[in-house]
Structure 1
Amino acid sequence: MPTELATGLTTGLGGWWATDDYDVARELLQRGTAVLLCLAFIQALNQFRPLLGERGLQPVGRFVARVRFRDAPSVFHAGYSDRRLVVVAGAGALGAATVVVGVPQLGPWWVTTAVLLACWAAYLSIVQVGQRFYSFGWETLLCEAAFLVAWLGSPDVPVPVVLVVAVRWLLFRLELGAGLIKWRGDPAWRNLTALDYHHETQPMPGPFSWHAHHLPRWWHRTEVVGNHVTQLLVPWLLWLPQPLPSVAGAVVVLTQGWLVLTGNFAWLNWATIVLGAAMVSDGVWAALGSVVGLGRGPAATAAVGGGWFGTPVAGSPATYVVVVALVAAVLLTLSVRPALNLASRHQKMNASFEPLRLVNAYGAFGSVTRRRDEVIVEGSLAERPGPDDWREYAFRGKPGDVRRRPPQVAPYHLRLDWVLWFVPLGVSGPWIGLLCRRLLEADRATLRLLRTDPFDGERPRWVRLRLFRYRYSTPDERRRSGDWWVRHEVGVLVDPVRLADLPGRAR
């Protein structure tokens, strides 16, 4: 295309196609998403192989042998090996890290786009073969966010309005979907009693969850009402003129901050905080900068897109305009089913409607568990173990020792701990038997997923899984005993088993 035509096209489109009010938002979205991608790839390096690798609990090789590429696109359909996983995850972490520090953003728009798209493809490849251990809504959220923010390019092009709308649509689905699934689901959300249980029964309590649980009942009612307002009403402000989207974003950030304090939901809350902060326009950031003392002069200008993040040029390359328009058309087409899902009485939670997970449905805690049952894994060195011969394996995040305060784990994701929370709810599989085998073998990779090995690397003769009912200690019980939990046994999940009792051979 001749230079004059390209210049004329981008200049003519500039008034409605591009905006100069979301330069801070672009940086927050790209660098924030890149931080989470980097963390997710590091987790894959630490956990994927013992869970899903060649000797994993759900080996990828078996999965790709029975699932078609078009149903779960992944580079691992070309062949899985632990070494290939390390290459993919390592390259993804490195690429994401360069975006965090801003290296690709120094070049033309397509460099940043290419790096983030490569990270998206790498992480999508991991998620697609992750089976039970990657079956969480925040995996899909990270995939969608990575694809979307890739097209924001670099500071040498202005932010396209259609992508601002696309990011708002993502946050809208994320928040409204979560609100609707609660309202349509468990009656505890409608009668305002859900938070009487949630802080105690959530999958991975945090250091302040015990304290949150013991707040007054009226406060729990307030929490539920606040949740309904934030997720059912506030998202509609995203479609109104500024500063109302900025207000909506600030509300999302504040409420997600409370969830960060009271639970461990991997990077779900942090991804939502990034999206919420990105709703704030540069004008609002400038006003906030004035309030805190940056002023409205050169310092404030630098803070909202000049000196810190670079100044975008007045126009955009024609190629960028065309590419973003095509991407927007694809996203609009794929948005039909997620939009219909929001309006459906049979709303799906955390669902993808196409294999690339580009536009998805979200939601969380459509039902609230009223009691907490925990899987306790024990082993014994004795030939014929008695009641006092069993030792408990300690996990990094999930409750076990009643004296241990729940740790802060998020945004890190302990996948084995999380999946074990679902086992008492009836969500299990053959991987439980493989877990027993790996413990009986004293498999070093598997033991590294745990906090402590009671046998210091020695092979136990027996392993068993018991089920315990947990509840928080009362403040009085805690003062007297120092325990955070009270528990009692409710049954045996897996009877004592030896390596010779398990089917198959060690692999």
Structure 2
Amino acid sequence: MMHHVEMFLLCPGLYGNEGLLPARSRLRYSGRPLWEQILLGLDTHTCMELLCLLGAALSLAATLHGAFRDSVVFFCLWALYMSMYQVGQVFLYFQWDNLLLEAGFLCIFVAPLTIIRGSQSVRELMFASGVVKLTSRCPTWWGLTALTYHYETQCIPTPLAWWAHQLPVWWQKLSVVGTYVTEIAVPPLFFSPLRRLRITSFYLQILLQVLIILSGNYNFFNLLTIALCLSLLDDQHVHFWLRKPLWSWLSYGVELSVWALLIFGTIVCFDLRINEQKRGISSRTAFTFHHFNQFLKAVTIPFVWMGVLSLMWAMVTAMFRCACVSGFFRRLWGTVQWTIFGAAAVGMFTISLVPFTFIEYDTNANLWPGVRQAHELVHRFQLVNSYGLFRRMTGVGGRPEVVIEGSYDGSTWAEIEFMYKPGNMSAPPPVVTPHQPRLDWQMWFAALGPQQQSPWFTSLMYRLLQGKQDVIELIQTDIGKYPFHQQPPAYLRAHRYKYWFTEPKADG
């Protein structure tokens, strides 16, 4: 609901007829576009606003009343956001938008039969995010120094990011080790038949997401990940067996062995040692890129089979629930549902193998061609996606930041200050989660490369010269704080600066 409301507020400035990237330019014209003809002749951006309001209303209804939490409503919500995504262009092409679409489509299956769990998406998200950090060969990730740069170079830091940046280097390196463990070693435990292993892996993921929320503004992404992780707590069948004393003792032994092996592997792989001189823990990457590739080849296929077994178990339990329903017609209807949604779940899992195996070339190359063809057919619907967060650490030599200035005479310049992104050095970092100021985010990407990689930036400058209020409100909702609110500037210029966090003892 919140996301639809947010898009409703951003739509005029981003996709309006006088916005940065007018949505109507993305539609094929045959006279008038089809959806404009259907929706009472409204123009394109008004239709988008109507879709946002409809999505917000459906989301609110599903939140307040259980009768609306069914496959039809979830399909409508997915279709509404997919419609926005198709014309959203660069401002909606984030990995969390893909994850939201994927999770929304999963809800269609979860609502009636709970055939697919969100843990499948979380496993792919977390495991791929950990793997790409190493396959990218980024020296900061391999040297375990990435977090010494991350807090000050991320898109929109929080106030706590400054404090996190001041932590000693040994702690930052140890935090990178913890990130690798949480993102690479822990996700396989999502499918463990032992309840406590799943629950512990759940809390490790929650800890990582909460730390990210505290130190960075990543909109709804981490909240969505936490919501998907909740599926790890659905353990009614396993809990029944854990109540037996013998199995309880055996499970304790297996769980302790798993965590002991995980701790031992972490110590060996990252050469963790107590450094008495520095009063900390030293660490380094004790394996090579070749070793890591061999590891990926060894674990990718077992990971796939773990997913297969998990899906089979979910389908069998769903079939059992359908068979236990009283009444012939209700049982028949449940069986029909199980057949349809089960087939769709198997198909969705199958095509998800294509993006998941991107992390390992040989496994991906050996996939059946029919699976690839099926994936290509549905790829534009964003049903399954590949992920890879923070593949390479940016801003190693300082955080690049674009600052726009305007002038009436070409000699006296005034900075156009954004509400959220760093600019004014006297302003503290904001806290905006779960909101995503999409223009501020794109300004961060624009600073990382040449202007040709951000063609929308030219449109931004043009709209500011025109004084378009919808675009100005993307920068400052309080128009009075915009330096050219009375009259558009005659000149605009953009400088690229480098920013760093202040040192703890620095004056000012």
Q: Which TM-score tier does this pair reach, normalised by the shorter chain?
A: 0.7 to 0.9
Is residue 228 of structure 1 aligned with residue 228 of structure 2? no
Contact residue 76 and residue 125 of structure 1 kept, 8 A: no
Distance in structure 1 (CA, Å) of the matches to 2:447 and 2:93? 17
Distance 1:346 1:376, change over 3 A: farther
Q: Which amino acid aligns with 1:260?
A: I
Q: Equivalents in 2 of 1:419, 1:43: separation in Å?
A: 16
1:175 equivalent to 2:126? Answer yes
Contact 1:378 1:390 in 2 (8 A): yes
Match of 2:12 in 1: 49
* Secondary structure at 1:425 match in 2: coil
Residue number among 460, 470, 474 corresponding to 2:489 in the alignment: 460
Tell me what 1:214 maps to: 166
Instruction: Show CA shifts across 1:275-301 (max 9, x none).
Output: 1222113559999xxxxxxxxxxxxxx
Which runs of 5 or more structure 1 residues have no equivalent in the other structure?
Answer: 1-37, 67-73, 288-311, 482-507
Matched, 1:474 2:503: yes
Separation (CA, whole Å) in 2 of partners of 1:474 and 1:330: 54
Does the 8 A contact of 1:439 with 1:446 survive in 2? yes
SS at match of 1:377: strand
Q: How many angstroms apart in 2 are the aligned matches of 1:75 and 1:410? A: 33
Choose the corresponding residue for 1:257, options 210, 214, 225: 210
Taking the aligned partners of 2:235 and 2:178, their CA distance within structure 1 comes to 27
Task: Measure how far apart 1:240 and its partner are.
Answer: 1.3
SS in 1 for 2:47: helix
Distance of 2:154 and 2:102 partners within structure 1: 25
Question: Secondary structure at the residue paired with 2:70?
Answer: helix
2:320 matches 1:367:
no
In structure 2, give the amino acid aligned to 1:469. Answer: K
Candidates 22, 28, 42, aligned match of 1:59: 22
- Structure 2: segments with no counterpart, 5+ residues: 241-320, 326-330, 365-374
Deviation at 1:249, TM superposition (A): 1.5
1:246-395 alignment to 2 at 5 Å? 246-281=199-234, 315=325, 317-344=334-361, 354-369=379-394, 370=396, 371-381=398-408, 383=409, 385-386=410-411, 389-395=412-418
Distance 2:362 2:150 in 1: 24
SS of structure 1 residue aligned to 2:447: helix
Rate the CA distance shift 1:123–1:334 in 2: closer, same or farther, 3 A: same
TM-score w.r.t. length of structure 2: 0.72
For 2:49, the equivalent position in structure 1 comes to 86
**1:219/1:458 CA distance change after superposition, 3 Å:** same
> Aligned to 2:27, what secondary structure does the other structure show?
helix
| Structure 2 residue matching 1:147: 3-state secondary structure | helix
Q: How much is the aligned-residue C-alpha RMSD, in angstroms? A: 2.6
Cα distance in 1 for partners of 2:46, 2:176 equals: 47
Amino acid at match of 2:54: A
In the alignment, is residue 112 of structure 1 matched against residue 65 of structure 2?
no
Q: Which residue of 2 aligns with 1:241?
A: 193
Q: CA deviation at 1:58?
A: 1.8
**CA distances 1:385-420 after superposition (whole Å, capped 9, x unpaired):** 32xx21111112100110111101121111100001
SS in 2 for 1:448: helix
Query: Match of 2:186, SS?
Result: helix
1:419 paired to 2:370: no
Call closer, same or farther: CA 1:342–1:77 in 2, change over 3 Å. Answer: farther
8 Å contact 1:394–1:453 — kept in the other structure? yes
1:278 & 1:187 partners in 2: Cα distance?
A: 35
Distance 1:405 1:284, change over 3 A: farther
In the TM superposition, residue 80 of structure 1 has moved relative to its aligned partner by: 5.8
AA of the residue aligned to 1:332 = F
Paired amino acid for 1:446: V
**Deviations 1:461-497 (CA, angstroms, capped at 9, x unpaired):** 22111111111111112xx31xxxxxxxxxxxxxxxx
C-alpha separation between the residues in 2 aligned to 1:285 and 1:332?
23
What is the total number of aligned residue pairs between the two structures?
A: 391
Whole-Å separation in 2 of the counterparts to 1:130 and 1:443? 20
In 1, the alpha carbon distance for the partners of 2:426 and 2:35 equals 44
Partner amino acid, structure 1, of 2:355: P
The 3-state SS of whatever aligns with 1:177 is helix
Alpha-carbon distance in structure 1 between the residues aligned to 2:35 and 2:129: 32
SS of 1:85 mapped into structure 2:
helix
Q: CA deviation at 1:429?
A: 3.4
Counterpart secondary structure, 2:129? helix
Q: Aligned ranges for residues 111-130 of structure 1 at < 5 Å? A: 112-130=70-88
CA distance in structure 2 between the partners assigned to 1:214 and 1:443 by the alignment: 41
Deviations, residues 74-121 of structure 1 (Å, cap 9, x unaligned): 9689896121011111101111111222x2x236xxx62111110100
What residue in structure 2 maps to residue 492 of structure 1? none
Name the CA distance, whole Å, in 2 between partners of 1:457 and 1:443.
12
| 2:98 aligned with 1:98 | no
Kindly indicate whether the alpha-carbon contact (under 8 Å) linking 2:128 and 2:356 is maintained by their aligned counterparts in 1: no
1:420-448: CA deviation from partner (whole Å, max 9, x where unpaired)? 11112226333222211211222111111
Write the letter of the residue equivalent to 2:435.
Y
In the TM superposition, residue 339 of structure 1 has moved relative to its aligned partner by 2.9
Question: Contact conserved, 2:193 with 2:238, CA < 8 A, in 1?
Answer: no
**Shift of the alpha carbon at 1:217?**
0.8
> CA offsets per residue over residues 47-98 of structure 1, 9 Å max, x none?
12211222222222222349xxxxxxx9689896121011111101111111
Instruction: Select 1:450's aligned residue among 475, 480, 501.
Output: 475
SS of residue in 1 equivalent to 2:121: helix
The one-letter code sitting in structure 1 at the alignment partner of 2:400 is D
Contact 1:120-1:143 at 8 Å conserved across structures: yes
- Which whole-Å CA distance do the structure 1 matches of 2:475 and 2:231 have between them? 37
**Percent identity at matched positions?**
30
Report the Cα distance in structure 1 between the residues aligned to 2:486 and 2:230, rounded to whole angstroms: 46
- Asked if structure 2 preserves the Cα contact closer than 8 Å seen for 1:64 and 1:77, the reply is no
CA contact (8 A) 1:441 1:459 kept: yes
Q: What is the SS of the residue equivalent to 2:205?
A: helix
Please state if 1:204 is matched with 2:165.
no
Say whether the 8 Å CA contact 2:19–2:463 is kept in structure 1.
no
Give the structure 2 partner of residue 505 of structure 1.
Answer: none
State how far apart, in whole Å, the 1-side matches of 2:233 and 2:43 are: 43
The residue number in structure 1 matching 2:464 is: 439
Candidates 424, 432, 437, aligned match of 1:409? 432
